[in-house]
Each structure stands twice: as structure tokens, then as C-alpha cells.
Structure 1
Amino acid sequence: MLTLLKHGNFVSFFSSRTLANFADSIYFIALLWVVQTTFHSPAFTGFTFTALSVAAVFSFAFGPVIDRFSASALSCIAMLAQGVILLFIPMLAGPGILSFTLILVLVLLASVFSALFYPANMTLLPQILEDKELLVQGNALTSSSDQLINLIGFLLGGTLVAWLGAGVSFYVASAACFTGALLFWGLSRRLKKSPAQPRPEGAGTGGSPGRYLAELKEGLEFLWSQSFLRVLMILNVVANFSVSLLVIALPSLGESYGSALYYSGIYVAFFFGMILGAVSASALPKTGLWISMFWIGSGFSLLLFFLLPQAIGWKVLAIVLFGLCSGVVNVLQMSFIQLLTEERMMGRVMASVTSLSNLAIPLGSIIGGSLALRLQVDELFLLAGILIVICGAVMLCLKSVRSFSVRDTELPKGEAAELSV
């Protein structure tokens, strides 16, 4: 770990990614809070979250662009563009539909640059850390710090909104983006002086659209050919749809308690639970049975949110439990996906997983906004909890899923057992 911290290029990479996550967290809290307190309508919050998340569905399409150009330069451009966009959002904030429409356009544009930033950012790491052992350590440090930065960012975002107003929060997030872009600019200049990195096969400018589409299709077909992964992906779509219902409900929940601090506090509780779950996952058996049980546990945590008294302390407890179960599920599922995937297809499969995971979020945002006009916040948690419990129960009923273990990943690739009950 000390070797990593002495690596100048890695420190620049890590610092800029940290600033990006920090800016995203503050921006997310401030944006949804402004929309909720301006229009007092979950429907408007749903439209806003859709604009925030829809571009992530197509993030895999940036792969060829990142292969053709400097990943550090693209990361710099993406952060710089987001910083500029964030400066304009508080200037346009107002109760009129025109103001809201303009904000939605800016949010959608910012989300496109965000969808470019993260894959470009992770492409940089193997270029910076060529040693395999250092690369594993770098990935571990980056992954574990993301949740911690999200926790701090959401806590600070709620504090800034409550004490200084949402406008200041946008300016702080913009400053973080500009600082991160500056670090990437310096990193890009240093990498240019290093020996040229070999480009992946087919990364030149002569690749045909047909070949490009065929390679994208191959990643999706691989996921579908593995019965265990196929079940996970289908149920993940349902689960992420359920979670997007909650994201729409949370701003109005915070408003009902009278402060943005309560709103951000719920996210802090979730990320705290996620950290606990991620740490605990390494000590648990790596089997489909445990994944199924923690899926059910996630759903029951949301049912607990519905059943517990209205005091914020009880609600936070339920959210911590939800985060803990979600953290375990995320670590175990991602480990299985990586172990089952051939190395030559890892990039395409990971891009496909990202796109599929985000597929239902925009739809859930729109439906969640409509449901929030008719249902109480607790009732949305009840609905989401029921859907997730059903997903976990389906996994538990499928023998090929609940009996799946790390040993099964040693089978030849493509030998997927048929589903059995």
C-alpha cells in the first residue's frame, strides 16, 4: 500500500477520482433537494433522476472512443465539462417549467460526460500500474474508497444545503470538478512522456461498425449463455427498478422531517451499511445460497422500514441493514461474474453488466414519480421490499443458483448448468 502512495501518477489518478465521486455526491443531494423543495412533487424528482441516470445505460458505447484517444485527456475533458455545467444550474433554478426544462437539459448533458468519465477513468489504472500485484492493490484501494467518499460527500452535501443553501453546494461540486480536471491534465502530460502503451486489438480507426456491434453483442451473449449469470442479470434489473422507486421517495421524506440533513443522513446510513457489508463479505461462504439469503434480507430491511415507527432513528436503522445486505450481495455477485468470465471478454462483459444494471433505473424513476403522487413514502418502501424479497425467493428456489459455489467457476467456460428447481 505504501508503494502505491509513493507512485506519483497513481496518487494523481486516485485524487482526481476521489474528487469526482465527492462532486457527484454533493451535486446529487443538492439537485434532488432543489427540485423537491421548489416543486414539492415526486414526479419532478423522478424526471430529474431519470436525466441523471439514463446516460449510464449507454456507457458501454464510449469504449471505442476511449480506445482511440488518451483516457487521461478524455477524463480531463469530462470533468471540466461537468464543472462548467454545474455552475449554470443554480443560476437557472426557479419555479417555472422553463427553468426546470433547462435544468433537465443540463443534467442530461452532465450525465453524458459522467458516462464517459468513469470507463475512461478505469482504463487509466492498468496504464499507470503495470505490475499485476500493484494493479490489484490499486483496484482494491479505489473500490473501497468509493463508498467512503460517497458517505462523506452525502453527509457534507446535506450539511451545505442546510446551512449555506443549494447554490453554494453546486459551486463546491464545480470547484471539485475543476480541481480534478487540473490533476488529470497534469497526469496526461506525464503519461505522454512515458513509453507508448500498446493499444488493444481493433482499437485503430479502421474498425468497421459491423465488427464494433458484433463485439458488443458478444458480451451480452456470454452473460445470457451462463444460467447463473442470466438469473442474476434478470433479477438485478427488477431490484434496481425497485431501488429507483426509493430514490424518488427520499427527498420528500427528508422534506417531511424538515431538513436536508435528514435526507443526506439516510444516504449516509446506507453507505455505512454498504461498507460493513463489503467488509463482511470476505468472511462469508462464496455460494449462491448466501447471495439468495442476503437478497431476501435486503427486501426484509425495506419491509422493516415500513413497519417501524416514524422516528428517524428507526428509519436509519432499517436503511443501515439494507445497506449491509446490499454490500454483501454486490461483492459476492461481482466476484462470481469476474470468476466466470474469460479474461479476453472481461471488458465487454463488465460494460454489459453496467448497462443492464442501469437499464431499469430511468423507467423506475418515471414510474416512481407517478406512484409517489398516489402512495405514501412508506408504501413505496413496502412495494420495493416485496419485489426484492420475491427476487431472493426465486433465487432460493432454483437449485442451480442456491447450490452454486466458487468451485463451479472452475468449470470450462460456457458449460452452464440448466436451471432446476
Structure 2
Amino acid sequence: MDVLKNKNFLSLFWGRLITNAGDSIYYITTTWLAATITDDPFYVGVTSAVILIPKTLQFLWGPLVDRWNIKPVLIFTQLIQAALILLIPILYYMQLLTIFNLLPIVFVAAIVAELGYPVQLKALPIILPKNQLIKGNSLLAMANQSADIVLNALAGILLAILGVATLYLVDSVIFTLAALTFSLIKLKKTSSATIKVEKFSLRNYRLEMKMGLKIVFTSMIWIFLIANTISNFCLGIMYAILPIYANSLGGEEKYGFILTAISVGTVLGALISTKLNKVPIGLFIASSFILAFILWGIAPYMNFYVFLLLFTLSWIPVGAANIIIGSIMQSVIPLSIIGRTNTVIASFCAIAMPLGSLAGGLLVRYHDSRLILSLSAIGYLAVGLTWLLNKKLRNLPNSEIIRFTDFNIPRELIDVDTMEKETRNHTNVFGGRE
């Protein structure tokens, strides 16, 4: 049966597309609103940080997601977001909206959103048979990026036409529509129990977290994790100052176009990653990120259309690296513990982004936004130099032959026999079999 003929998958796909559209509108509208009601770059940075902080908490609720019933969580996360977002235009029309009552609403909405996404991923292996999971994941990723590309461009234009309060009302309706779409998913009563997990206890919880931490910090993973953390700090600076930079160029439309450039570059990188399965990973990441650093660094000093081109190109390595590193993690870490390991990696990387947003808000108070935007490219340089100067990272082979031993993951932390079996049967994201 084709994936697109599966009614449950279609409901999940369209629900994911709709909710991601709502998230795109929400992020752009909220950061722009913070700039408007405060006229202070620092509070734009604080708002961006508050939106990003829940991403750092992923490792805390990773073990909990496996214990939740899927359909109710899918529906209620969307309805709660719709209700929270509706509070903002109500306060706005009552002339009671300030940055101090906006921030708590933003924080709670961000937490609810972060709870919803892993549950959507959990639903996939229940809805689809194993041989359709890769295609299903690919389509869901496409839904994310497609919504980002279209809505990042349109949100700025819609802000100019409709105004901030009306756009929040529209966004609330979008999340309600997502909830209705998810409600169409029909799961058998036994489906939610398909994934077996041990009964929750603090002891099991601590042990699951400890395993993920050990794999990350007793292998080579921690080396590029540090570089990624520095890069994410700089990205946090960038996201905080973009509304200020865009406003200096002309307004909401420019902000939407800049965010669209990020999405387009990321998608292009994801597309070319499928052609890189025979390219040595270490040298590709080192060289591409150093080149991207140069392109990003000079982009703010060009005219707007050249800036968009260079900025788009600078995001291609990120899109490619996300797919490549994700494939590596699937190859070198046993499937039985990959979830908790990836949440540790994601959380440590994400911690730096809200800190960067706060720093960006402060820096742009005293320095030109163009200069700060240019300097935030240093994060890419940190990644490139880390992979270039570390011999083991630089010499990593291509994705077709890489093994867990290349990352110095201690054998005692994994079931080697299971790892070998998974490696032989694993179909990677580049196509073909390993």
C-alpha cells in the first residue's frame, strides 16, 4: 500500500503541515510584536530566548513521550496553543498587552509546541509499516520545510496587510484546524501499546538519561557537540537581531524574505545531501562551513538581493549536515538507545540558542545590527575549524562505510552483536543498503 493512500498518514501529514504553518506565523508575528511594543532590541532577544528555551528541555520529557496516548496529545496540544494565542489579540484590543504578560504566554505556548512534535514522530511507526517509514519521515520533513518556505515569505506580507492582532486571530484558527485534522486519525485501541516501555519510575528515568549522557561524553561525539553549541549560540544572536536588521531595511516584508532564505538554503542542502554518500564526511563539513562563514560574513554589506543570495547559500551546509549527521547517528548508535542519545545532543545544542538571543538583544542596543549579523557567522567558522583541526573528525569516511568504531563509542556501552545486526539491515537516508 502506498504511503499517500494511507488515510491515517494523510491526516498526520496534513496536520503536521498545518501546525508548522501556524508555528511559522506565530514566531514571526511574536518577535515582530516584541519589537513593536517595546522598541527595545533587548526585549526582542528575550522573546526569542523564551521561545527557544523549551527546546533545551527535550531530554527531560523524552522518556515520557513513549508513555503517552498519541491521539489525545496530538489534538490537545493544538487546541491549547490556539487558546493561548487567542489571548494575545484579546489583550491587544483591550490595550492591556505588555511585554511582561506576553512573555508568559509565549513560554507556555512554546512548551506545548515542543510536546506535540515528538508525539507526531511517535505516531509514525504505529501508522505505517516498517518498510514505509523512511518515505513517511521524508514526507513529514518536506511538510515542515514547505510550510516554512511559504509562510516565512507570506507572514511578513500578511503582517503589513492585516496587522499583528488580526494575524494572531488567523493563527489561532490555524491551530484549531490542525487539531481537527489530527482528530481524523483512527488508531486501534491496542495501537498505543505497540511500543513497549517499562513502567515509569524515577530510577528507570535516571538510568535512561545516564545511558544517553555516557554515549555522548565518552565518545568523539562531544567534540563536535561543543562546536555545534558555539554555532547555536551565534544562531541565537542572529535570530534575535533579524527583526531589527529587517526593520532597518524596510519592514515586515524584508523580515519574511530573510527567514525564507534560511528555509530555502536548508532545503537545498537537504536535497544535495543525497548526492554526498561517497564524499568523506569530515572534509565536506570542514570545507563547506568555512566557505559558508565567508559568504555569511560579507552578505550584510551587500545590497538586499545579493544579501539574500549569499545568505541562502550560507545555509546549504546546515541543511546537508543535518541529514548527514542524522544518518551517521542512525548508523553508529543502536536503535534501542538512539532516542535518548539524540535528545541529549539536541538539548545541549539548544541550550546555547536562548543565551545567544539574550546576548544578541544586548549587543544590538550598542552596535549596528549589520555588524552583529556579520559577526554571528563566527559560529560556522567554529564548526569548520573543529572538523578541520581535529584529525579524527577530519578523516571520517563517507556515510556508506562509517561504523560506530570511527566515533570511538566504547563497546561496553552498546550491545555489539545488536549493533552489527542493525548495521547490516539498516537502510540509510541516502538510499541503498549498508
If the length of structure 1 is used for normalisation, what is the TM-score? 0.91
1:298-324 residue CA offsets vs partner (Å, 9 max, x unmatched): 221221224x33x21122112111221
C-alpha distance 77-411 of structure 1, shift in aligned 2 (>3 A): closer
Residues of 2 paired with 1:143 and 1:373: CA distance? 37
Match of 2:248 in 1: 256
Match of 1:104 in 2: 103
1:303-354 residue CA offsets vs partner (Å, 9 max, x unmatched): 1224x33x21122112111221221222222222221111111111121122
Measured after TM superposition, the shift of residue 253 of structure 1 is: 1.5
Tell which deviates more after alignment, 87-96 or 6-15: 87-96
Match of 1:141 in 2: 139
1:356 aligns with 2:348: yes
1:393-412 residue CA offsets vs partner (Å, 9 max, x unmatched): 12201110011023663355
1:291 aligns with 2:289: no
Select which of 206, 210, 218 maps to 1:213.
206
Residues of 1 paired with 2:307 and 2:96: CA distance? 33
Measured after TM superposition, the shift of residue 95 of structure 1 is: 12
| Unaligned 5+ runs, structure 1 | none
Residues of 2 paired with 1:69 and 1:370: CA distance? 40
Residues of 2 paired with 1:231 and 1:414: CA distance? 10
1:44 aligns with 2:59: no
Count of residue pairs the alignment pairs up? 407
Name the aligned partner's letter for residue 294 of structure 1: S
Counting aligned pairs with the same residue, the percent is 27
Residues of 1 paired with 2:369 and 2:325: CA distance? 29
C-alpha distance 407-323 of structure 1, shift in aligned 2 (>3 A): closer
C-alpha distance 407-67 of structure 1, shift in aligned 2 (>3 A): closer
C-alpha distance 132-246 of structure 1, shift in aligned 2 (>3 A): same
C-alpha distance 54-196 of structure 1, shift in aligned 2 (>3 A): closer
1:198 aligns with 2:194: yes
Residues 245 and 370 in structure 2, CA contact (< 8 A), matched pair in contact too: no
| Unaligned 5+ runs, structure 2 | 411-434
Residues of 2 paired with 1:120 and 1:283: CA distance? 31
Q: Alignment partner of 1:343: what SS? A: coil
Measured after TM superposition, the shift of residue 378 of structure 1 is: 1.6
Name the aligned partner's letter for residue 29 of structure 1: I
- Structure 2 counterparts to residues 159-198 of structure 1, below 5 A: 159-187=157-185, 190-193=186-189, 197-198=193-194
Residues of 2 paired with 1:231 and 1:196: CA distance? 38
1:378 aligns with 2:378: no
Residues 37 and 99 in structure 2, CA contact (< 8 A), matched pair in contact too: no
Residues 342 and 413 in structure 1, CA contact (< 8 A), matched pair in contact too: no
Residues 92 and 103 in structure 1, CA contact (< 8 A), matched pair in contact too: no
Residues of 2 paired with 1:369 and 1:111: CA distance? 20
Select which of 396, 412, 416 maps to 1:404.
396
If the length of structure 2 is used for normalisation, what is the TM-score? 0.89
Residues of 1 paired with 2:250 and 2:366: CA distance? 21
Residues of 2 paired with 1:166 and 1:193: CA distance? 42
Match of 2:112 in 1: 113
